Structure 1
Amino acid sequence: MNVRRLIPTAALTGAVALGATALTACSGAAATGGTDGKLAVTASFYPMQFLAEQIGKDHVKVDTLTEPGVEPHDLEITPKQTAQLGEADVILYLKSLQPAVDKAVTQSGAKNIVDAATLTTLESHGAAGHDHGHEGEAGHSEEEHAKEEHAKEGEAATDPHIWLDPAKYAEVAQGVGKALEKADPDHAADYKKNTEELVAKLNGLDTEFKDGLKNTATKTFITTHAAFGYLAERYGLDQEGISGVDPESEPSPARMKELQEVARKDNVSTVFFETLASDKTAKTLAADTGLKTDVLDPLEGITDKSQGADYVEVMRSNLKNLQKALGAK
């Protein structure tokens, strides 16, 4: 299964405590910085925007820093967006995903800052789903050494892609709901009701994935970058990322050769690419190994090319594509 490493409990507890302090900084009366008295919420990118819109509904005005079609990892903050952060009643972001956003949020001075990374347990996932270590073996070749170094580097990176696990995303939704209740107590009952409805929908999606991926011909899938570690961990799959957690990192020749061997050994039929990042390496690998290509969307943004209009629809498309590639029965 996927390699994972839990973030130390003490560090997580401290982060949650810090987040709670930020959330309670706003006192008593509801903030009304939004248009027409609505709560002004600034979301860093689509998964945060979706939560704010689903939970806030008519009581919030949601703006997003990452426009449709922009790769979130590459986002640069404009002066206008910096000012927007300072005027927001609530900022909803995911620390460590977008360095430019992290810096701007710290400098914003906003009273209610919600870091989604503090609302669930973070893990570390390597680009490789299998253990490629060769401890105890003598006479390592240069290629074997490169494999080991690649695996170690991948395993060390904290994975921010928590929204691709519906169960973890539901945990984040609950935290966001509580944050909106505190920021706008006049509408707390509505936020609570909307949160419960969203969590039920996400739990239903989790069940669909569990049932849909229970019996498959293979458990291994190859994707452009290692965004699906939480999804793979949840549903008993093995993710093999061409690049690491960062979609812009270039795979080494040794990694590409390693993936060719994985595809043969694990009966992989498909190499997945995504809509917002280059599909060059995925198509190269597919051509070299005689595999098909398909879309597995990391849901970092919704565009006209997305296989669905919102988070739930695109996740269901991902499920269908995985079922087809893995030979679900």
Structure 2
Amino acid sequence: MNVRRLIPAAALAGAVALGATALTACGGAGATAGGADGKLDVMASFYPLQFLAERIGKDHVKVDTLTKPGVEPHDLEITPKQTGRLGEADVVLYLKSLQPAVDKAVAQSGVKNIVDAATLTPLEVHGTSGHDHGADADHPEEGHGDEHGHSHGEAAEDPHVWLDPVKYAEVAKGVGAALEKADPGHAADYRKNTEELVARLTALNTEFEDGLKNTATRTFITTHAAFGYLAERYGLDQEGISGVDPESEPSPARMKDLQAVAKKENVSTVFFETLASDKTAKSLASDTGLKTDVLDPLEGITDKSQGADYFEVMRSNLKNLQKALGTK
């Protein structure tokens, strides 16, 4: 199983308290915030937070994102125009440590209502899976490791909380509360929309629990080690390829290691993602006799995505996992 370490409760509480203090009504107590159209101007750093803002805010918000469809979030570089737009937003939603360029821009933006999703649910440290195959197992891709502040092979605080419906629901509640504070005139609507979204996420969690309850194997291999929370939630073992740069070949040692894992754990499939090349997955699959399929980390939606929104893509992920793991 994945190794995890919870951030101390006191530190989490302090971060949330600081975030709550920073959230002030844009138009004064009881006023409706927003621009000339009366809508709250929300800037989200990437798709998972954009989705929450749109589903919770609905007609009361105008949502933009710094990460356009098809752009790999981790490698995002912000343009001067985006920096200007960021500074004009009523509310900024981001996830600290995921996108270094965003962290820097947000810190310099001067926006009062800034919400860091990393303070809304406890982050965990995901090391290697339950199999002891060396320190390289879950190392993020080159560049990805640096942004998390960890060296090669070292366990890092995992930011991919949205891939666990339960943790994503906790983030949704925090986003809903932030919109209520920024736009108290529509607080009741934000609260209602948040409750509806959380109910849907709770139902999705049940679908995953039931769908992954009985499988031939509990181990899956992925080129992007983004699924630690999902694996932890549903009792699975994630095996990440060393280096995990989609454009690079896995090391010979790791190829041999994963070949042994695949044989021992009856692994049939190497997963790759939609926003990156499948070169690494196909290389490993070719040398190990495995198939390839998509396991989408949902960092963005494009016409190549297996679904039009978060729920559709997550259900596609579930279906692909069931097929690869051998659901009984």
TM over 0.5: yes
Work out the CA distance in 1 between the residues paired with 2:308 and 2:135: 40
Deviations 1:148-187 (A, max 9, x none): 4666944521110000000000000001001100000000
**Are the counterparts in 1 of residues 217 and 326 from structure 2 also a CA contact under 8 Å?**
yes
Q: Which residue of 2 aligns with 1:297?
A: 296
Deviations 1:186-230 (A, max 9, x none): 000000000000000000000000000000000000011110000
**Are the counterparts in 1 of residues 129 and 239 from structure 2 also a CA contact under 8 Å?**
yes
Q: Which residue of 1 aligns with 2:4?
A: 4
Deviations 1:31-81 (A, max 9, x none): 634451100000000000000000000000000000000000000011111
**Are the counterparts in 2 of residues 90 and 112 from structure 1 also a CA contact under 8 Å?**
yes
| Alpha-carbon distance, 1:11 to partner | 2.7
Query: Can you give the 5+ residue segments of structure 2 that lack an aligned partner in the other structure?
Result: 140-151
**Are the counterparts in 1 of residues 136 and 242 from structure 2 also a CA contact under 8 Å?**
no
Change (3 A) 1:111 1:247: farther
Q: Which residue of 1 aligns with 2:180?
A: 181
Change (3 A) 1:292 1:283: same
Q: Which residue of 2 aligns with 1:312?
A: 311
Q: Which residue of 1 aligns with 2:281?
A: 282
Q: Which residue of 2 aligns with 1:260?
A: 259
> Secondary structure, in 3 states, of the residue corresponding to 1:196?
helix
**Are the counterparts in 2 of residues 132 and 151 from structure 1 also a CA contact under 8 Å?**
no
| Alpha-carbon distance, 1:255 to partner | 2.1
- Once superposed, what is the RMSD of the aligned Cα atoms? 1.9
Work out the CA distance in 1 between the residues paired with 2:165 and 2:154: 22
**Are the counterparts in 2 of residues 88 and 110 from structure 1 also a CA contact under 8 Å?**
yes
- What is the TM-score when the length of structure 2 is the normalising length? 0.91
Work out the CA distance in 1 between the residues paired with 2:194 and 2:267: 38
Work out the CA distance in 1 between the residues paired with 2:243 and 2:35: 38
> Secondary structure, in 3 states, of the residue corresponding to 2:284?
helix
Work out the CA distance in 2 between the residues paired with 1:306 and 1:39: 29
Q: How many residues align?
A: 315
Aligned sequence identity (%) = 83
Q: Which residue of 2 aligns with 1:116?
A: 117
Query: Can you give the 5+ residue segments of structure 1 that lack an aligned partner in the other structure?
Result: 134-146
Work out the CA distance in 1 between the residues paired with 2:32 and 2:257: 54
Deviations 1:65-119 (A, max 9, x none): 0000000000001111111111000001111100000000010000100110000
Structure 2 letter corresponding to 1:94: L
Work out the CA distance in 2 between the residues paired with 1:112 and 1:248: 38
Structure 1 letter corresponding to 2:196: E
Work out the CA distance in 2 between the residues paired with 1:103 and 1:43: 15
Work out the CA distance in 2 between the residues paired with 1:148 and 1:241: 11
> Secondary structure, in 3 states, of the residue corresponding to 2:214?
coil
> Secondary structure, in 3 states, of the residue corresponding to 1:294?
strand
